[in-house]
Structure 1
Amino acid sequence: MTNLATMDAVAQAELIRCGEASPRELVEAAIERIEATDPQINAITHRRYDQALDEAGRIRGDAPFAGVPLLVKALNDSEGDPANFASAWVARHRRTAREDAVIVRRLKEAGFLVVGQTSAPEFGLASVSESTVHGVTRNPWHTGLTPGGSSGGASASVAAGMVPVAQGGDGGGSIRMPAAFCHLVGLKPSVGRISAGPGRTNRWGHSVPAVVTRTVRDTAVVLDAVSGRAPGDQGGPAPLPPGGLAAMVGRDPGRLRIGVLAHAPDHAPQVVAPVRDAVLETARTLERLGHEVAYAHPELMLDPMCLKAFFDALSVTAVQTLEALIAELGERPGPDDLDAVTRFWVRRGREITGLELADAFVWQGRLRAAMARWWQEFDLLLSPVFATPPKPVGWPWREADGLQKSVDVLTFTAPFNTTGQPAIAVPASLTESGEPIGIQLAAGYGREDLLVCVAAQLEAERPWASLHPPVFAGEAKHGG
């Protein structure tokens, strides 16, 4: 039981199946780990320990993850728990979720026991996990750094060994960036692979629910458990291959043609040497594994319009979310009730005209078409997740043009939210001072199988789950 902090969800579930541990013991151990580590990183916004312990006694034994503890991102509904969107204004109204989000319900059906909620920026609109309602969440690899956002609390909690899996979401890089910053695996699935829930705001299809984990097999097995349409969903990718994504772990994908992108456009933050080196070293590893590597990428994803169109659309959904809450709560927020980043996006969303929004959608259609053509020649694209290692807490608000900088950093991640194509972040290296660097692999629509195959190949080459940060709920062996 003393090694639970280092065990992934598949291994913890096996303990229960073999009778070596009970669901209650796993939950109690997770509670101890949370209470031991969270004071240093501030990732937990709500604790539901009593409910989880009660549910542990009633868990269905044949569920694949029966009794494994889990944390849910505060932006996703968990029935009866706070649903304040990480907003102090909403939190004043003590708003709670009336039902589970689709992914949360499916996680519970798979046997996971929800022990709490994790932090996020207000309405998920920033690349850090800092808010007025909860304060600053810190990176367990270095507490002076951010774990990223908006799933920063989820990633920080998994990296610190609190739980093996945490639920999150990705609307522009919000799974992949925190995974890269925290030395984790974060797969943004194809739009429609996991239902966001018909009638729920999903930011024009940009935002998809997902999880962060320490191992590729956890990502694969969990996604198998939660994937699928919900009644009322429109379309979606082709079904997963026989055996699901779990069957792809360890399978030889054959010789793939992989494009490599290691630079940013002139209008965006430039890729620093340690990140560029991590991408190029990964390219060499993939070549050694038998893949064909070429320095090529879809040109349109580096066009300045790519992020402009993305954020034109995003800003309107910020207004949409706010207006729905105003109608529900019967109160408009005062001038200081919302965080600065929220006020920025709401103001921008109100200024966008219908014609400008339509033009953004047309441009995004061009991007999807261009990207689809690129996948006819290539199987995967290798790139950075973020141009630099993790930034300090308080970034970018302490810098000039901080709000614009918070936009420009999504050069490598946001295009795949627009196209709906899957992309995965996996650990690549640590800097000399122990800061994690991740790389991104992207694939054509519906090809999560290729991502899992190749990510597992990289994991076998460099077993990253054995590295632990200084803030860890077990014996730390590595970190700076």
Structure 2
Amino acid sequence: MTLPPPRAKVHAFSDDALGEHDAVGLAEEIRAGRISALEAVDAAIARVEKVNPELNGLVVADYDRARARAARPGKGFFAGVPTFVKDNSDVQGLPTQQGCSAYTGEPAKVDGDFASMFFGTGLVGIGKSQLSEFGFSASAEFFNADPVRNPWNTDYSSGASSAGSAAFVASGAVPIAHANDGGGSIRIPAGCNGLVGLKPTRGRVPQDKMIREMPLRIVADGVVSRSVRDTAAFLRESEKHYRNLKLPPIGDIRGPGQKRLRIAMLIDSIGDLKTDPEVAEAVRGAAQQLEALGHHVEEIAMPVPEYFLDDFLAYWSVLSTFMLATGKRTLGADFDRAKTDNLSRGLAKHGLRQSWKLPLVLSRLGASQQISKRFFRTYDAVLTPVLALPTPELGWLNPAQPYEVVIDRLIQLVNFTPLQNATGDPAISLPLGTSRNGMPIGVQLGAGRGREARLLEVAYELEQAVGFARIQDA
């Protein structure tokens, strides 16, 4: 498929059944009988068909089954609300392709644990959304196919790995969609597309078997949305299906909290990794707003050892080594390693070279949880960039380039979000900045283990105080 020429502001907002509703608002319309679930799903399908030729976020459509389910919507809170599942989670009857063209996925026999919970809230899946190959890159670009494009400007990346979900939510095709995060892949596309993206605490949300069996469970599942209340409602409804008794409950968070917080602010990352001035300006602007709301913000230096990013890259690389070494058994008999991209193969080689020190890497990454516990005895939250640089143009992270080029650029770009994947703590990306070229800039708030409620309360405050830019208004 050849995509149309790039242009700014691709969206499908109109006066159809979806209107400008977020997921909570759309669910209310369906419950009140002002629109039907089938009308909502039909409108979403029409919107996807309108924007996908330019955004390229769709892997496989599931329209017929979606219409059948919408004709008999379930009883969950989001009953009848159309959505997408990211294509690294199993959905019964659909293949799981992992963003990779090196094999042909077989249809899953049953829903994975995440999809089972997700659909149990009443959400209606209309297909699966695109990700970067195996979720390794922060941009969904491919050496042999068109990229996922950003609806704010199709010259730019939609982030990754949950790129397709974010592009469809930002463009108005659906109000909410599945995302997951092993190094920032909920928060990064949320930041690039002007969305809310909360990575939950490790163990908060049900996950598929492959993720649960990782030596260190760095991946967390969640959603990207256009409003804080949608993310809060998703977590509330998720808890009704699965409640981790080792974590404090999130509950029903519907607005700001009363407690004034002590918040640490980080502008630059580890070592000589510096944050772009535009991004730093957005973070400092968020800090000023928080102080105007009565919170105390204090700038500090990055409180983790300089070897952290090397350790995280080593572990991430070993995951690629495993995927490529076991592909014929775990992905499909026709898996051809030679058809994977330069980033996946380069990571696999790096992982093989680093495998001898995996016990040390796992020990030190695990110890980051203790660093976090000490840190959050002093501070209630931490404010950082999501990405150290503004959203990149497509091509900058193209995996057809040499591995050394791509990995160096990824380290320059992605050096804040991996920390919460190691510690297991929650963090949220909020669209609190805009670059001079009109692209959204995400600002991140993190908190201690199990403190999603705190993050949601502050997010509500910021949303009410400054509002979030909308693509249909820009």
TM-score (norm 1): 0.90
The CA deviation at 1:132 is 4.9
Task: Tell me the number of residue pairs that the alignment of Structure 1 and Structure 2 aligns.
Answer: 455
Residue type at the aligned position of 1:338: T
Q: Residue in 2 aligned with 1:119?
A: 130
The CA deviation at 1:297 is 5.0
Residue type at the aligned position of 1:26: A
The CA deviation at 1:206 is 0.4
Instruction: Give deviations 1:342-400, integer Å, cap 9, x for gaps.
Output: 1111222222334x001111211332211210100100000100112210012224587
When residues 429 and 230 of structure 1 are mapped into structure 2, their CA distance, relative to the original with a 3 A threshold, is closer
The CA deviation at 1:280 is 0.7
When residues 346 and 169 of structure 1 are mapped into structure 2, their CA distance, relative to the original with a 3 A threshold, is same
Q: Residue in 2 aligned with 1:82?
A: 95
Asked if the contact 2:282/2:434 (under 8 Å) is kept, the reply is: no
Q: Residue in 1 aligned with 2:423?
A: 419
Q: Residue in 1 aligned with 2:382?
A: 381
Q: Residue in 2 aligned with 1:330?
A: 333
Q: Residue in 1 aligned with 2:362?
A: 361
Instruction: Give deviations 1:190-248, integer Å, cap 9, x for gaps.
Output: 000012234545642101111100000000101122247969xxx7742314xx1xx32
Residue type at the aligned position of 1:250: G
The two structures, once aligned, show a CA RMSD in angstroms of: 2.0
Q: Residue in 1 aligned with 2:12?
A: none
The CA deviation at 1:99 is 1.9
1:259 pairs with 2:264: yes
Instruction: Give deviations 1:381-436, integer Å, cap 9, x for gaps.
Output: 00100112210012224587222221342211001100000000001122232111
Indicate the SS of the match to 2:307: helix
Q: Distance in 1 between matches of 2:257 and 2:109?
A: 44
Indicate the SS of the match to 2:155: coil
Q: Distance in 2 between matches of 1:199 and 1:276?
A: 37
Instruction: Give deviations 1:38-87, integer Å, cap 9, x for gaps.
Output: 11111111111111001111222x31011000011111111111211111
Residue type at the aligned position of 1:72: V
Asked if the contact 1:84/1:96 (under 8 Å) is kept, the reply is: no
Which among 137, 142, 156 is matched to residue 153 of structure 2?
A: 142
The CA deviation at 1:184 is 0.3
Asked if the contact 2:86/2:131 (under 8 Å) is kept, the reply is: yes
1:191 pairs with 2:192: no
Indicate the SS of the match to 2:224: strand
Q: Residue in 1 aligned with 2:190?
A: 179
Q: Residue in 1 aligned with 2:41?
A: 27
1:371 pairs with 2:375: no
Residue type at the aligned position of 1:477: D
Asked if the contact 2:318/2:355 (under 8 Å) is kept, the reply is: no
The CA deviation at 1:332 is 5.2
Which among 427, 436, 441 is matched to residue 437 of structure 1?
A: 441
Asked if the contact 1:5/1:162 (under 8 Å) is kept, the reply is: no
Q: Distance in 2 between matches of 1:459 and 1:393?
A: 29
Asked if the contact 1:190/1:420 (under 8 Å) is kept, the reply is: yes
Indicate the SS of the match to 2:282: helix
The CA deviation at 1:250 is 1.3
Q: Distance in 2 between matches of 1:279 and 1:42?
A: 31
Asked if the contact 1:86/1:119 (under 8 Å) is kept, the reply is: yes
5+ residue gaps, structure 1: 470-475
Q: Distance in 1 between matches of 2:301 and 2:246?
A: 23
Residue type at the aligned position of 1:142: N
Percent identity (aligned): 32
Residue type at the aligned position of 1:239: P
Equivalent positions of 1:72-471 (< 5 A) are: 72-91=85-104, 94-132=105-143, 134-198=145-209, 200=211, 203=214, 204-227=216-239, 237-241=246-250, 244=251, 247-268=252-273, 270-296=274-300, 298-300=302-304, 303-328=305-330, 329-331=332-334, 333-335=336-338, 337-354=339-356, 356-397=357-398, 401-464=405-468, 467-469=469-471
Q: Distance in 2 between matches of 1:412 and 1:115?
A: 33
The CA deviation at 1:34 is 0.7
Indicate the SS of the match to 2:93: coil
Report the more deviating stretch, 388-397 or 19-28.
388-397
Residue type at the aligned position of 1:154: S
Asked if the contact 1:149/1:177 (under 8 Å) is kept, the reply is: yes
Q: Distance in 1 between matches of 2:147 and 2:289?
A: 37
Q: Residue in 2 aligned with 1:67?
A: 80
Asked if the contact 1:70/1:163 (under 8 Å) is kept, the reply is: yes
Indicate the SS of the match to 2:154: coil
Asked if the contact 1:88/1:132 (under 8 Å) is kept, the reply is: no
